[in-house]
Amino acid sequence: MFEVLIFATLNGLVTGLLLFMLASGLTLIFSMMGVLNFAHASFYMLGAYFAYSISLYTGFWPALILAPVLVGVLGALVERYGLRRVHKSGHVAELIFTFGLAFLIEEAVQFFWGRATKDYRSPDILDFPLFTLFGQNFPAYKAFMIFISIAIFIALYFVLTRTRIGIIIQAAITHPHTVGNLGHNVPLIFMAVFGVGTGLAGLAGVIAGPVLTTFPGMAMVLGSIVFVIVVIGGLGSLAGALVASLLIGLLQSYAIASDLGMPDLLNWLGVSFERDHPLNDIWRLTLPQIAPILPYLLLVLVLIFRPSGLFGKRES
């Protein structure tokens, strides 16, 4: 029981921090432009595929730097030539544009790399168990993932709160016109933030690709979960995004690791149903079974009872 708990916590931490890398960029972009970027997870997928192709020639480490940069540049171009054009037509059009972009990127990935799963592996140098606990190994690569995520979080926090650029960005979120009048190029700031946000998603893809497998559906798998996190945490709140990411990561990890279910609850309550009861499916549910839907359940509940999210400000 105890070792299950420890490993579930560690795995939940890995997933949660990975989700945060995506959610942080998404929430930053949202607070700047008011656009929920549906294609955010598609940039994550592009990161994994770029890194796979680059690593074929140079190995993992140069890909770790190059792929996120490429993704970021691509994101900036999308903002400059796509999103800025659609901006005139309003928020719904922007949302639908990113939705179409997600669709398009998935098709493009299938065009260039095919439908099959790519054999994108973690570097050999990290291919050893970091420690063994109760006979179970904890791979060094997962520790590396945790390390990168935390480093990114600290760097992001430092840049946003302690540097001049960060202050300008924060000001541009709330008072874009004033910042513009002070002589800063606000559209350029928007483009840069979009580029950095998508670049972070790309980085998440680079480090997650080997663990979560690199296939054309990987954006779909994570995309809506990241949305859920950003909404649960409160739109535009970085701290909220961190808490919600860890919450979702741990929740899913515990649910998968546990072997509890409705039968246990019914036993405990002393109730039993016959096998051909019409709701038999419900009476036999187990936690690992419903793990994938827990985030959505949480989302709907949060939106009903606290529409602004856990850390969100009052909705305008």
Partner 1 sequence: MFKFAVWIIFAIVIVLLPQFFTSLLSVSILNQMAIAIVFALSYNMLLGQGGMLSFGHAVYFGLGGFMAVHALLGIEDGDYFFSVTLIPLVGGLFGLLAALFIGSFSTHKAGTVFAMISLGVGELIAASSLILVSFFGGEAGVSGDRTYGPTFFGYDFAQDIQVYYLAAAWMFIATLAMYLFTQTPAGRMANAVRDNPERAEFIGYSARRVRLISFVMSGFFAGIAGGLFAVNYEILTEQNLNAVTSGNVLLMAYIGGLGFFIGPIIGAVVLTLMNSVLSHYTTLWMLYLGIMFVLTVMFLPNGLTGFLMMHRTPWHLGKIRLLIKPYIVTSIPGAVFALSLVAMVEMAHSSEAEFVFLGASFNSSGIVSWGVLIAIALGSFIALRRSLPALREAWAQANAIDSGEQK
220 binds partner 1 (CB under 8 A): yes
Q: What share of the chain is helix, strand, coil (3-state, %, to 5)?
A: 75, 5, 20
Which residue in the set 99, 153, 157, 283 belongs to the binding site for partner 1 (CB under 8 A)? 99
Gap between the Cα atoms of 113 and 209, Å rounded: 14
Residue 179 to residues 34, 123, 166, 173, Cα–Cα distance (Å): 17, 44, 13, 9
Which residue in the set 65, 100, 121, 268 belongs to the binding site for partner 1 (CB under 8 A)? 100
Minimum distance between the CB of residue 31 and partner 1, rounded to whole angstroms? 12
260 binds partner 1 (CB under 8 A): no
Minimum distance between the CB of residue 185 and partner 1, rounded to whole angstroms? 23
Residue 186 to residues 170, 193, 197, Cα–Cα distance (Å): 12, 10, 16
Q: Which is nearer to partner 1, 72 or 309 (CB)?
A: 309
32 binds partner 1 (CB under 8 A): no
119 binds partner 1 (CB under 8 A): no
* Alpha carbon 37 to its chain's center: 12
- Phi, psi angle pair for 132, to nearest 5°: -120, 125
| 226 Cβ neighbours under 8 A, 6+ residues apart | 19, 22, 23, 26, 40, 41
Q: What is the DSSP string of 19-30?
A: HHHHHHHHHHHH
Minimum distance between the CB of residue 93 and partner 1, rounded to whole angstroms? 6
307 binds partner 1 (CB under 8 A): yes
Q: Which is nearer to partner 1, 61 or 103 (CB)?
A: 103
Q: Which is nearer to partner 1, 154 or 293 (CB)?
A: 293
Minimum distance between the CB of residue 303 and partner 1, rounded to whole angstroms? 5
The one-letter amino acid code at 242 reads: L
Instruction: State the burial class of residue 223 (Cβ atoms within 10 Å of its Cβ: 0-12, 13-18, 19+).
Output: buried
139, β-bridge pairs: 129
Minimum distance between the CB of residue 252 and partner 1, rounded to whole angstroms? 13
97 binds partner 1 (CB under 8 A): yes
Give the residue among 39, 61, 38 at the shortest CA–CA distance from 51. 61
Which residue in the set 10, 69, 96, 171 belongs to the binding site for partner 1 (CB under 8 A)? 96
265 binds partner 1 (CB under 8 A): no
Q: Which is nearer to partner 1, 165 or 300 (CB)?
A: 300
Minimum distance between the CB of residue 107 and partner 1, rounded to whole angstroms? 4
E strand intervals along the chain: 129-133, 136-139
Instruction: Tell me which residues touch partner 1 (CB under 8 A).
Output: 36, 82, 85-86, 88-89, 91-93, 95-97, 99-101, 103-104, 106-108, 110-111, 220, 224, 227-228, 231, 235, 278, 280-282, 285, 289-290, 292-293, 296-297, 299-300, 303-304, 307, 315
